Structure 1
Amino acid sequence: MQIDITKDALASYVVDGVTSTSQPGSTIAPLDELQVRLAPGITDGIVPDSVRFTLGGKSYDDRAGGIVTDINPQTESGLAAGVIDYDGRQATISFWEDGENTALNVTSLLTIYGQWTATEGFFRTASAPLKPESLQITGAAENGTQVVATADQNGEFTHEWCQGTVNYTFGTAAVRFGKLVPDASLSPEEKAEPWYDANNVDGSGNIYKPLPMVTSSLRYNAVAFTYLPLDASIVGIDAVRLPADGRVPIYRPGDVVMVMHPQDTAPQTVAAGDTIATRPRVAWVRVIDANGDSVTEGYSLDRATGTVTFDDVTGVAMPVTVRHTVGDLRLVVDVQITGEIQLSRELTHDYPANESIVASCLIHGDRRARVAATWDQKNWDGSWSDAIKGDEATATLNLIDHPITVTNEGCDTDRWLLRCTNASSNNWELISERRGLVWRGVYTQNGDDIAPINPRTRGEQGQGGTPYMVIPAAANGGGWETGNVVRINTVGAIADFWIARAIQQSEEPLDDGADGCEIYALGNIDRP
């Protein structure tokens, strides 16, 4: 095929209404694009990435709906020079060399009987989890439109012609191709297409117009994370027991969970006697002042109605915000790896999506403070044991008639040593295994009880407080020798537990990078 290609086009014309004896006029205008028919006489569609042709001394290749030229043989990169319409078998060239009688030579071109297209699709990447913002979809539409769409941090595609979402954790994605267009802009032929339905026109006069994509041209690019197993001595357990992607179920059938939803009231300036309404059957509230500090005194809560009544606001920075939380304690019946949890009973509050929390619960059972064991020894060798070591002392405490008393508030789980340091002057000391020396003084039958205050129970200014235990003075019948000891074991109502936190390698955190957790102690009192 011989054609003339120049940057300018010559057009001849005769003005309408002028006699035929007049001379025709001509105008030269620049061309921005050159359209080349690649397969005249053929009705089948072109296979993407199969076209190569030369024109004006340049070679052109088809790449995913685009035409490139001046290709570097080392890097395979080239200059964008146009687009190709696979269905119309036509290339639109935007960059070419001027010349006359230049041959168009098609050296490679495949056609296919029928053209498979799709307007939406679902797929799963070969590896997961994926790095956020790394999934990219490329493809060419039937009309030659190139689509290059990349998912954002939230896993959403926002390209003009592509919408959809991706789950970075599992590597699954769902996309569709098309966009909203004015209904009035559609031609009669487009309104005759199977996808058109006048009932789908929205209130703004727009309708979704799908973009058929050549399925063989669709590709995705993504970056996936790979986890290396850690040494068992680092994680404390055999790494073989851990899944390759590090995901383990944190809830199991039979576990107890707290489903809750926190919500804040609008900032409000209050005085003594004022109230702030929250929600009925509220689980707990937290009053926060204008400085972001928690207010712990000066108000009361009616849980049934959710009303917070302020009794004293002295020293509170205004305005205050009430953070109120509703919750349901439920038993887990079934757990799926997808994150779905089946509960034993229905929930009694509304829990909005993306705002509610499902927290695991550590059940401690019934708790009460008590004295677990007491005994006396002639001497103490410095070791803490739960049974007598060596000989008994001659004297002993009368704990039958005058028992050691403890409270749930003041008692802690600990082992104690009450030692006589000077028998002639009745000097004694009380030593804690965990806290060291907590009391020293004179201990006689007619003196004061031993009642060291637990600092944890004191007020903010160090006032008041509840003792760890009370050892009655009346229990001391005398007869002690220097070095004699009384060993005491106590069990507190507070449950001991430990928290292990593991942070995986990751990108720089978003926003302010704030991270943390909150621990709530929930309890019920059995009353007769």
Structure 2
Amino acid sequence: MSFYSPQPSGISSEQVVLKAYNAVNIEVSYRDTSGSNSSTHTLTADTLKLDLTKGFDEQILAGSARFKVGSDTFLDRSGLLYRNVNPANNSGTQSGVIQYGTGIVEIDSWTPGVDNIIELQSLTTTTDLPPANKISFRTPVTPLRPQSMTIVVGTLDYGQLTLTADENGIIKTDHAHGQVNWINGFAQIYFYIKTKITEANREEIEAYDWYDPLLEYDEGGDTYINIPVWVDASTVRYNAIAYTYLPIDSELLGLSATRLPIDGRVPIFRVGDIGIVSASKSQELPSAIAGTTYDLDDQRISWCELEDADGVKVNFDLYEVDYDYGKVTLGGDFVLGSLVEPLIVKYRYQDMGLIRDVQISGQLTFTKPLTHNYDTDNTIVGSALVINDMQSRYTRKFVQQAWNNVWNDEPTGSAISANYNDSIYPIEVTNKGAIQERWAIVFTGAESFYCVGETTGRLSLNGSTTVDYAPLNPVTNKPYFVIKKEGWGVGWANGNTLRFNTIAAMHPVWIIRTVQQSEPTAISDSFQIMLRGDIDRVV
């Protein structure tokens, strides 16, 4: 229920001639006690409405209204009314709103049981301040922290609006629609009410002085128009949190920071680059029976490994994975041993494609559709470091008279007649076995020799020119290289050396992991590096 201050509907004058009433009988009705035939009704109001500009049509200046209702004093602050403000700390009780355009104030909190006398103490109006329904501004400090901006604005008809932007910078309410760019701090807001035009309200809408038929638009078979919400631009204020960055110390970082951005953030998505959408999942196996094949929930997976309930990885030799059809088969000799059931399959499926468009909101568009179903909880999107083709090989083969423990890529000392014929019998290397290394084959006799590497040192396996020499890489259980026995010539003597280098199927990558300053939330942490390769399949 609301109470309104009384308003006169009109004033009229009338002259009446009073004279003695000439009648025989006069009937009079009266009561002899004041309490008889009387009643009292108590009404409870939740809002008091007053018109501060009754009788004139002018806009109220923000912050100029001050009035009393009974014993309470009300002040205007950007469209909100505060009651009984304490001058010592400038705090009061929020008690209502004021409409700058109409002068109507709505009070929802007051001191009860007092008189209803209204006293206007201060009010300033103007006719020279045109209202607006759009505001744009830029913050002096950037970038802004997402979801940190709050905008307050006073309207002429709806009181004060308090607006907040979501993580994407979008502002969307019944009265305000806009966006904030967290990177450059630019905000743009339109104030309007989306209204459906009907036969009942068309005449009223067309009567507005701002109306233009071009403002109407169709949506879903209905006609709409955006009715402006007028705001007082002088009442706009905002609060936001911005980032500031300290300069990076090159000595502390370990590399030159000249080309690094001031905020340390390097863009990882660009148009034309390769992006990878990846989903990681886990699935418990219902049993652990040797020779059994288990179907996974997804097909065309790209990575898979098996763990027990305690996180201990199962040896890869004990199971096989069908990546195309998403199946895991336990080997025929599989036994649990010390493993704890249930066994858990951790797998990943991916889509890779060229990036066609990158939006500031973080939306990526690929040149082809995704081929898997992805959900928000298990999916990440990353960029790819393109390495191109990688293939192991050997280079810099030469012979020298004696081994001097100097790792040069050119021979030293006098020339010798003995050599290895790699034009017919090249040194064999594989991607799985070869490493980045300089090798020296040092002869200890006419047929015997040993092998030493620059970083691996002397290998335990000695060789002979009468058999193939294939020292094993203990990490992959494949040979570092294979020297064919047919390639050895004659004339080798003690101290003669065959030198060559092997180039691994690897690519040098620097990995820098950055942790922002904060209190630790976990004792330990880890990450995983995944190499994705394409192969030629033989049909």
Q: What TM-score do the two structures reach when normalised by structure 2? A: 0.68
In the alignment, which residue of structure 2 is the partner of 1:8?
none
Q: Distance in 1 between matches of 2:292 and 2:531?
A: 29
After superposition, residues 288-299 of structure 1 pair within 5 angstroms as 288-289=306-307, 291=309, 296=316, 297-299=318-320
Residues 107-137 of structure 1: CA deviation (Å, up to 9, x unaligned)? 232244797475x988765543322442112
**2:231 corresponds to which letter in structure 1?**
V
SS in 2 for 1:488: strand
Determine if the alignment matches structure 1 residue 284 to structure 2 residue 281. no
Determine if the alignment matches structure 1 residue 269 to structure 2 residue 286. yes
Residues 48-77 of structure 1: CA deviation (Å, up to 9, x unaligned)? 323234677876421022223555667644
**Structure 2 segments unaligned to the other structure (5+ residues):** 1-28, 207-214, 221-225
After superposition, residues 106-125 of structure 1 pair within 5 angstroms as 106-112=121-127, 116=131, 118=133, 125=139
In the alignment, which residue of structure 2 is the partner of 1:389?
412
In the alignment, which residue of structure 1 is the partner of 2:243?
225
Q: Distance in 1 between matches of 2:285 and 2:203?
A: 57
Deviation at 1:138, TM superposition (A): 2.0
In the alignment, which residue of structure 2 is the partner of 1:368?
391
SS in 1 for 2:162: strand
Q: Distance in 1 between matches of 2:271 and 2:132?
A: 46
In the alignment, which residue of structure 1 is the partner of 2:493?
480
Q: Which residue of 480, 490, 498 maps to 1:468?
A: 480
Deviation at 1:90, TM superposition (A): 3.6
Residues 290-347 of structure 1: CA deviation (Å, up to 9, x unaligned)? 63566645234262xx3425253643743544635242444x567677767676x534
**Structure 1 residues 508, 42: CA separation in 2 closer, same or farther (over 3 Å shift)?**
farther
In the alignment, which residue of structure 2 is the partner of 1:489?
501
After superposition, residues 426-437 of structure 1 pair within 5 angstroms as 428-437=449-458
Q: Distance in 2 between matches of 1:165 and 1:211?
A: 18
Q: Which residue of 417, 437, 442 maps to 2:440?
A: 417
After superposition, residues 66-465 of structure 1 pair within 5 angstroms as 66-68=80-82, 71=85, 76-92=90-106, 94-95=109-110, 104-112=119-127, 116=131, 118=133, 125-143=139-157, 145-151=159-165, 168-169=182-183, 171=185, 212=229, 214-216=231-233, 217-230=235-248, 234=253, 236-237=255-256, 239=258, 241-243=259-261, 246=264, 248-252=266-270, 255=273, 257-262=274-279, 264=281, 267-269=284-286, 272-276=291-295, 282=300, 284-289=302-307, 291=309, 296=316, 297-301=318-322, 303=324, 306-308=325-327, 310-312=329-331, 314-315=335-336, 317-318=341-342, 320-321=344-345, 323-330=347-354, 346-347=368-369, 349=371, 355=379, 357-365=381-389, 367-392=390-415, 396-397=419-420, 403-420=426-443, 423=445, 428-439=449-460, 441=462, 443-446=463-466, 449-457=468-476, 465=477
Q: Distance in 1 between matches of 2:254 and 2:474?
A: 36
- Asked whether the equivalents of residues 66 and 122 of structure 2 are also in contact (C-alpha less than 8 Å), the reply is yes
Query: Could you say what the CA RMSD is over the residues aligned between the two structures, in angstroms?
Result: 5.3
**Structure 1 residues 445, 517: CA separation in 2 closer, same or farther (over 3 Å shift)?**
closer
Residues 203-254 of structure 1: CA deviation (Å, up to 9, x unaligned)? xxxxxx9994634334321111123443566474463x55555554435565
Q: Distance in 1 between matches of 2:102 and 2:375?
A: 48
Q: Distance in 2 between matches of 1:509 and 1:168?
A: 27
- Asked whether the equivalents of residues 334 and 341 of structure 1 are also in contact (C-alpha less than 8 Å), the reply is yes
SS in 1 for 2:472: coil
Q: Distance in 1 between matches of 2:455 and 2:439?
A: 9
Number of residue-to-residue matches in the alignment: 480
Q: Distance in 2 between matches of 1:307 and 1:232?
A: 48
Q: Distance in 1 between matches of 2:357 and 2:63?
A: 50
Question: Highest Rg: 1 or 2?
Answer: 2
Q: Distance in 2 between matches of 1:371 and 1:430?
A: 15
- Asked whether the equivalents of residues 261 and 357 of structure 1 are also in contact (C-alpha less than 8 Å), the reply is yes
Q: Distance in 2 between matches of 1:515 and 1:128?
A: 32
- Asked whether the equivalents of residues 69 and 116 of structure 2 are also in contact (C-alpha less than 8 Å), the reply is no
**Structure 1 residues 261, 100: CA separation in 2 closer, same or farther (over 3 Å shift)?**
closer
Paired-residue identity, %: 24
- Asked whether the equivalents of residues 269 and 383 of structure 2 are also in contact (C-alpha less than 8 Å), the reply is no
**Structure 1 residues 82, 515: CA separation in 2 closer, same or farther (over 3 Å shift)?**
farther
Deviation at 1:411, TM superposition (A): 1.3
Deviation at 1:523, TM superposition (A): 2.4
Q: Distance in 2 between matches of 1:214 and 1:111?
A: 15
- Asked whether the equivalents of residues 82 and 95 of structure 1 are also in contact (C-alpha less than 8 Å), the reply is no
Determine if the alignment matches structure 1 residue 42 to structure 2 residue 56. yes
**Structure 1 residues 440, 323: CA separation in 2 closer, same or farther (over 3 Å shift)?**
closer
**Structure 1 residues 108, 337: CA separation in 2 closer, same or farther (over 3 Å shift)?**
closer
Q: What TM-score do the two structures reach when normalised by structure 1? A: 0.69
Deviation at 1:415, TM superposition (A): 0.5
- Asked whether the equivalents of residues 130 and 169 of structure 1 are also in contact (C-alpha less than 8 Å), the reply is yes
SS in 2 for 1:375: strand
**Structure 1 residues 401, 284: CA separation in 2 closer, same or farther (over 3 Å shift)?**
closer
Deviation at 1:522, TM superposition (A): 0.6
**Structure 1 residues 484, 361: CA separation in 2 closer, same or farther (over 3 Å shift)?**
same
Residues 136-180 of structure 1: CA deviation (Å, up to 9, x unaligned)? 122345455444344566767799987887564454667788999
**Structure 1 segments unaligned to the other structure (5+ residues):** 1-18, 201-208, 458-464
Q: Distance in 2 between matches of 1:340 and 1:152?
A: 15
**1:107 corresponds to which letter in structure 2?**
S
Deviation at 1:37, TM superposition (A): 3.8
